[in-house]
Structure 1
Amino acid sequence: MATAHPPIAPDPDWLAHRYDPGQDTFHFLQVPRALRQTVPFLTDEHIAGPGDPVVIRRGDCDLTGAAPRLNFIFHSAYCCSTLLANAYDRPGRAFSLKEPVLLNDLVGWRHRLGDPRRIGAVLGDGLRALARPFAPGERCVIKPSNIVNGLAAAMLTERPEAAAVLLYAPLETYLGSIASKRMWGRLWVRELLAGFLKEGLVDLGFEPQAIFLQSDLQVAAVGWLAQHALFAKLARAWPGRVRTLDSEVLLAQPAAALAAIDTLFDVADSDAGRDAIVRSVFRQHAKFGGDFDAEARKADQRAALSLHAEEVRMVLAWAAKVAEGAGVSLVAPAPLLPDAS
């Protein structure tokens, strides 16, 4: 049972976890930094404890302590986005939020045809409630769930100081990842695409009902293309603030990628500091713990692609034709690193 509570000071241990549009309240959970560092996502599965949430009317929240600089990692899933978010938990310099559910709540509200003006107002307050630093001067880096990508333009508009990295895996790699997840991966891409259809993000030249006639990996490719088209629009709309990054480039050149992102995000660090992050964060599995090996990841990808080679090959050829007909480039614009294109 949720408890009432007087207005709170901007104590960063209290995470703005949920939003209730019926009551216009934020639900806060006490999630210390040490816990946030160890969980892959800020979801109930990972952070809900025995304590009740503190429920506070939005107008009573003290949001004056929000970080002055907010940045985003938008992503297309299965592309090392959690790994990159972990690289931006740097005490005194930056802190990261991995898929805060409050933003998902706003997407659900949109899907229930909530008033866009109210949603916009709550989005602004929600970002301020999330972006409360643990130390003065820390930059906030939010990695939303990719179902939140439809709000990316609104978030960049709301926070004119914000920059964003648009992280994606190559389509072939993405399809291999989905296929390797078996039934759960195939169900997930259908759920994701259903959300994108509600957001109006799918404009690829065929009627929505035609999706029911497509295979699971075709549905996965449609979702990937929809996100790729959105990323291209964002990069064109905010050329100085938005850059794209291929996950394979991130893993091949982590130090160079972090240096470029630090500049984009206005995070002060040194080459030695970034090298330490590469040696620690980039060698630990972001979701499951244990050692992370980029070469082992590539071997797993090759195995998945080999097992589903015929299906993946056919879907890649089909997706290329769909992309050509819809005017969607398979090469993302505005690459973060010069040789990423």
Structure 2
Amino acid sequence: MIRRTLNAMARQTDPRPPSMVPAARDAARDATWLAHRYDPAHDAVHLLPVPRALHRRAVFLTKEYLPDDLQPLVVRRRAALAAAPPAAPLHFVFHSAFCCSTLVARAFDRPGWAMGLKEPTILNDLIGWRRRGEPGPDMASVLDDVLTLLARPFAPGEAVIVKPSNAINALAAPILALRPDARALLLYAPLRTYLGSIAKKGIDGRLWVRTLLLGLLDDQLVDLGFAPRDYLALTDLQVAAVGWLAQHALFAQLVARFGADRVRTLDSARLMDDPADAMRRLSRLFGLPLDADALAEIVTGPAFTRHSKVDAEFGSADRAQEHADAADTHADEIAKVLVWAQAVAKTAGVALDPPGALADLPIG
């Protein structure tokens, strides 16, 4: 029955003649068929045709940024796993949002070296499934298999660097536990910069931080001394600060649990002040060779010179000016929330600069 259901789903979602639809085993071997969605009700993976050039153009690997006419191939999870090639080295850029994480993922788009996956939707499916508490297969088994499907290399010798949405940060510890060879960067913006980024986005940013807080509460990641009703009394930027502090507490826990050999932290200001040093150390963390010529090409290339979202020229000076403008416009509100957040952090024992700085990683 399940086989018939999945075959019917595949026919419904791919209008091409049967001779043009790849066999499930062939698609599962091919990294250009992205593991895009997971359906726990049928224990099935939706594979979506996303060639490397499209990966490069898409801001994120989500419906909003992928062409509408891409048709998925629906495959049973176990069948996809059985056909998958040997996994490439797999590493992660976890982040707390608005901190150049997309830039970092783009910097690892270098054929023969690595490929960055920007916010694959399938990981959001897993955290949503977990939060809803719906029935289905064993969560750890599914996560393990999804990681294998994300680790399919585009070319021999490439590593895969996954930059998930920060909505899935509660899965960071399980991911690192399941992949003992994986390394992770924990990327964040300084709190003042983060608050400015939220404020300049207007109502959309202010609604977003409340949605983020709801997810963090569902994931039981907020332990800052507040009672549930206290959150209703907070301003939007106070809510933003709570989310930022909760994620910083998680980052410190990840460093403590997995060690600085595997997990390092970096703030976006340091990244943009000296991108060459940051990329040199990050490549060392991920175990990827990087010579001087390649490093120069990366830091002068589109990842660091063009806007990640709108594909326009946008260097470090433009980014700094954008942050300064936002801070000036909302200076009074940001200053007050900073003082309040520092007091909350001190009471809760959360370091504003988490341990395990990437800058302390020896590079020989």
Unaligned runs of 5+ in 1: none
Superposed CA deviations along residues 217-260 of structure 1, whole A, max 9, x for unmatched, are 00000000000000011011112100000101101111111111
- State the partner residue of 2:212: 192
For 2:227 and 2:86, locate their aligned partners in 1 and report how far apart those are by CA, in whole Å: 43
Is 2:351 aligned against 1:329? yes
Is structure 2 residue 42 aligned with structure 1 residue 11? no
Matches within 5 A, 1:76-95: 76-95=96-115
Match for residue 235 of structure 1?
Answer: 255
Runs of 4+ in 1 over 4 A off after TM superposition: 114-117
Distance 1:51 1:307 in 2: 42
Q: Which is further off, 216-225 or 236-245? A: 236-245
Provide the C-alpha distance between the structure 1 equivalents of 2:137 and 2:274, rounded to a whole number of angstroms: 42
Q: Which deviations, in whole Å up to 9, do the C-alpha atoms of 1:51-101 show, x marking residues without a partner?
A: 421000111113541433110000010000000000111100111100000
Task: Give the counterpart letter for 1:81 in structure 2.
Answer: S
Corresponding residue for residue 139 of structure 1: 159
Write the distance in 1 (CA, Å) between the matches of 2:201 and 2:235: 15
Of 276, 288, 299 in structure 1, the residue corresponding to residue 310 of structure 2 is 288
Letter in 2 for 1:325: T
Aligned to 2:277: 256
d(CA) in 1 for partners of 2:162, 2:213: 22
Aligned mates of 1:151, 1:282 — CA distance in 2:
28
Q: Percent identity?
A: 49
Are positions 1:302 and 2:309 aligned together? no
Unaligned runs of 5+ in 2: 1-7, 12-21
Higher-Rg member (1/2): 2
- Partner Cα distance (2:83, 2:168) in 1: 22
CA contact (8 A) 1:63 1:128 kept: no
Query: What SS does the corresponding residue of 1:8 show, helix, strand or coil?
Result: helix
Deviations 1:245-278 (A, max 9, x none): 0101101111111111111111122111011011
| 1:165-180 mapped onto 2 (5 Å cutoff) | 165-180=185-200
- Cα RMSD of the aligned pairs, angstroms, is 1.6
1:136-169 deviation per Cα after TM superposition (whole angstroms, max 9, x unaligned): 1111100000001000000000100000000000
The offset of 1:117, in angstroms, is 7.2
Pair 268,114 (structure 1): closer, same or farther in 2 beyond 3 Å:
farther
Amino acid of the residue matched to residue 35 of structure 1? L
Q: 2:40 aligns with which of 13, 21, 41?
A: 21
Q: Report the CA distance between 1:181 and its aligned residue.
A: 0.2
Deviates more, 1:5-14 or 1:271-280: 5-14
Aligned residues between the structures: 339
Amino acid at match of 1:267: L
